[in-house]
Amino acid sequence: MAVMTNRYVIVGAGAIGGGIGGLLARAGIPTVLVARGAHLDRLRDAGLRVRTPDLDFTTAVTVAGSPADVVLTDDDVLVFATKTHQIEAALAEWADAPVGDRTAGEALPALIALNGVEAEHRAQRWFARVYGVCVWMPATFLTPGEVLVGGTPLRGILHTSRVPAALADDDDRALLGAVAADWGRAGFEVPLPDDVLPWKYRKLLNNLVNANQALLGTVDGDIARAVRDEAETIYAAAGIGINSEEEEQASRARLQVQPVPGAPEQLGGSTWQSLARGAGTTEVDFLNGEIVTLAHGLGLRAPVNGGLARAMRRASAEGTGPGAITAAELAAALGL
């Protein structure tokens, strides 16, 4: 079988996309980082600085602001690493970009390296070949031109499969084998389960705490348990299966997280980062909101997850930073 030579066009060069792209570029793997605003300007002028527990390097990166800045070929792989609430616009922007006499949506694989489980479904509206990526990668993006990655020696573990899994064929297996090899050279592990969605649904349970952390500045255990218990009840009612605890722990044990020298002491997950940067929006409607969606589809309610999503939307709109309310205030708002 011929060896595949891929270039990875990473749409969304924040914490995850920037971390993956910077490490790929350092390993000499062809990569394009798609960014915007001050981050794009900084990447173009000074390269990307990546800080890890054991490395601090700046690498020159090929950057783009839109599909007009890239000549796509059949050897390209699109990697979407935006937030889930931004994915629709990104998919629409890139799907019709020319690849010879075809379009990207017709010709290129789309890897969906986002939280939640909705983005893969949305990607199928635009792309014929969609692959889900369950992202385990401790990364932070707060400053233009710089990404912090806390994993060492593995930088992240990225379970990946075709979505839906039933469509997987030899071409998909060849592509994913090439991705696993390329990204392995950059310090990542890319397991290839038969179906990634059970892994992504389990990770969603963990991501439900993101809004809790963002609003309070830390995680309140009682609120976190109430949010997860409600979600597990909805999963059971919907017949959603997840990978086993044993599989999860065996894989996670391989990812060690350590402090990044010189990094701020208090750092949080993706939702915390959006609130800390004053982004004005977060992906809460595709995390806690996904539980609400499942519940409504069954004629049920998810008041704890729904209330947490409302509180997060309000904080984003008002521009309040992490830790602006207390655990007691949040619990009262959620009826706990």
Task: Classify 7-195 by CATH class.
Answer: alpha beta
Task: Classify 199-333 by CATH class.
Answer: mainly alpha
Predicted confidence at residue 3, as pLDDT, reads 47
pLDDT exceeding 70 applies to what percent of the chain?
A: 99
The pTM of the full predicted model, rounded to 2 decimals, is 0.93
- Whether residue 279 is predicted with pLDDT greater than 90 in this model: the reply is no
Is residue 68 exposed (0-12), middle (13-18) or buried (19+ Cβ within 10 Å)? exposed
Give the tens place of pLDDT for each residue, 293-312: 999 999 999 999 999 999 99
- Whether residue 188 is predicted with pLDDT greater than 70 in this model: the reply is yes
Average per-residue pLDDT in the chain?
94
**What residues does each domain of the chain span?**
7-195, 199-333
| Beta strand residue intervals within the chain, DSSP E | 7-11, 31-34, 48-51, 56-59, 62-64, 76-80, 98-99, 102-103, 110-112, 130-136, 139-143, 146-149, 156-162, 188-189
Is residue 191 exposed (0-12), middle (13-18) or buried (19+ Cβ within 10 Å)? middle
Judge whether 82 and 110 are in contact, CB under 8 Å. Answer: no
- Whether residue 265 is predicted with pLDDT greater than 80 in this model: the reply is no
Give the tens place of pLDDT for each residue, 69-86: 999 999 999 999 998 989
Gap between the terminal Cα atoms of the chain: 58
The residue type of 130 is V
Give the tens place of pLDDT for each residue, 140-152: 998 999 999 999 9
Look at strands 130-136 and 110-112 and give their pairing. parallel
The residue type of 111 is L
